[in-house]
Structure 1
Amino acid sequence: MIKLRELTGSFLAAVRLLTVLPLGRNAPSATELGGAATFFPLVGAFLGMALAGLNSLLADLPELLRGALLLLAWVVATGALHLDGLADTCDGLAGMTPERRLAIMEDVRTGAYGVVGVVSLLIVKFAALASLGPGALPAALVAAPLLGRWTITLVITVFPYARGPGGLGYQFKRGTGIPGLVASTVFSLVLVFVLMPWRPAVALTAVIPLALGLGWWLARRLGGLTGDTYGMICEFVETAVLVITIFAWEAL
């Protein structure tokens, strides 16, 4: 039977991993790290609520400036963790073999492909934030980080891990199972449908084939997924949520 202390430890580990908040006194145990992925959507929801609160404070600013400040806060609050994974994955995919791609992704230096990938995504994300109307923006700010982190839990469960034991991604893969995925899925779906009218909420289910398709393609290229690819998928899904919400809200 799962102990309350282990659940609390897994939640705190998820917060420490996905945000810059230094919660918890000690380094998480392997068990706590293994259960952390179940709480990723919850951390995403808290992050989104903080962004929605900031948006309220910035409501009187011009749309472009507000969008830029929201994006900056988003990046700072997460420590650019997923953007780093996006950059490493873009660089690694230029390799000729799975082994070479994984080796490139381990290099701490960022190459041209990584820079182009991060800048391109941030441009689209900024444009989407500046384009969302006042009714849609608060809901999108919560839904995007929520669903982005839920898809990390999804792909961890579905796809194999490309590297050997020892890394964080291995701990997530070993500790994440169907019960944790089901719990995080129910939480995520309920919150999205509470936040949004039904048409935008239904439209956001498009992120499921997006995440699975991207995970399948990356797994074929790399022999499985890694922590960097989890970040890439999260960033793609977050951006897709913002873009989809623009069109789905206008269709009401």
Structure 2
Amino acid sequence: MRSLALALSWLTVLPVRTGAPSGGEAAGALRWAPVVGGVLGACAGLLVWGLGAAEVPSPAAGLLAVGFLALATRGMHVDGLADTADGLGSYGPPERALAAMKDGGAGPFAVVTLLVVLGAQAAGLASVGGGRVVAAGALACAVGRVGFSWVARRGVPAARPGGLGASVAGSQPRWVPLVWWTVLAAAGYAFAGWRGPVAVLLSALVTIGLSAHTARRFGGMSGDVLGAAAELGTAATLLVLVTAP
């Protein structure tokens, strides 16, 4: 259970004290990430549902839910998405890309990426009717966090020493994300019919493509890429779930 506690400490604002983790506990925390994401997504869905019952316009409810998710995760995943966008938008060798990612500012690539991805999440949450938004939010955020395990799979080194990325790089057997994607695809089918598995498949393809590209561009994986995978995977899942049959 220390791995679950570590996942809560790393991935939420909850004041969970864990002490210095071992390598095995750090690896285990990533395997719990979809569970933590599912709880956060369900809370975001409840917020949208409650705001809708209070007759708050659905676009505003969706934006507020995305804001809640950013606050509940200390903005780490959003920051990772922004830094990854800046790194991919830079020219030159991996060292230059990593320097752009480490810079505290947000460049134009980061700004546009945040607007598009977070806007897509907000629109997706706002478009799910009634109480179904709770299940949709839980599924989307859980699927997005499966990306952690794929990005940190065995065979992909850390792009730079230190930080969360280096502590979990190469720690995940490939079967871990594959099992999670399969389980969530089945859950998605129960919730949304064919759109559920398609949503999970699209999220998986986005994650696989992002990981392959960033590993080549940066020379490995980083904590920023973990965050980018979570946000992009969540957005991809929501967009398919709200697609008209």
Deviation for aligned residue 1:149: 0.2
Any gaps of 5 or more consecutive residues in structure 2? none
Match of 2:226 in 1: 230
Deviation sequence 1:45-76 (CA, Å, 0-9, x none):
11122223323322322212221221221111
Match of 1:3 in 2: none
Match of 1:68 in 2: 63
Deviation for aligned residue 1:174: 4.2
Q: Aligned partners of 1:215, 1:197: CA distance in 2, in Å?
A: 27
Deviation for aligned residue 1:178: 4.0
Match of 2:147 in 1: 151
Amino acid across the alignment from 1:237 = G
Aligned counterpart in structure 1 of residue 42 of structure 2, from 46, 49, 58:
49
Match of 2:213 in 1: 217
Q: For the structure 1 residues 230 and 51, does the alpha-carbon distance in structure 2 shift closer, same or farther, using more than 3 Å as the test?
A: same
Q: Aligned partners of 1:225, 1:25: CA distance in 2, in Å?
A: 25
Match of 2:240 in 1: 244
Matched, 1:17 2:10: yes
Q: For the structure 1 residues 95 and 52, does the alpha-carbon distance in structure 2 shift closer, same or farther, using more than 3 Å as the test?
A: same
Amino acid across the alignment from 1:88 = D
Q: Aligned partners of 1:159, 1:63: CA distance in 2, in Å?
A: 43
Deviation for aligned residue 1:148: 0.4
Q: For the structure 1 residues 189 and 124, does the alpha-carbon distance in structure 2 shift closer, same or farther, using more than 3 Å as the test?
A: closer
Q: For the structure 1 residues 181 and 129, does the alpha-carbon distance in structure 2 shift closer, same or farther, using more than 3 Å as the test?
A: closer
Contact 2:49 2:130 (C-alpha < 8 Å) held by counterparts: no
- When the two chains are superposed, the root-mean-square deviation of aligned CA atoms in Å is 2.2
Q: For the structure 1 residues 199 and 171, does the alpha-carbon distance in structure 2 shift closer, same or farther, using more than 3 Å as the test?
A: same
Aligned counterpart in structure 2 of residue 34 of structure 1, from 24, 27, 40:
27
Any gaps of 5 or more consecutive residues in structure 1? 1-7
Amino acid across the alignment from 1:11 = L
1 or 2 for the larger relative contact order (CA 8 Å, sep ≥6)? 1
Deviation for aligned residue 1:84: 0.3
Question: Secondary structure, in 3 states, of the residue corresponding to 1:59?
Answer: helix
Paired residue total: 241
Deviation sequence 1:183-218 (CA, Å, 0-9, x none):
544543444344x13212122122222211121122
Which 4+ stretches in 1 moved above 6 angstroms? none
Matched, 1:167 2:160: no
Match of 1:5 in 2: none
Question: Secondary structure, in 3 states, of the residue corresponding to 1:157?
Answer: coil
Deviation for aligned residue 1:126: 2.1
Contact 1:14 1:43 (C-alpha < 8 Å) held by counterparts: yes
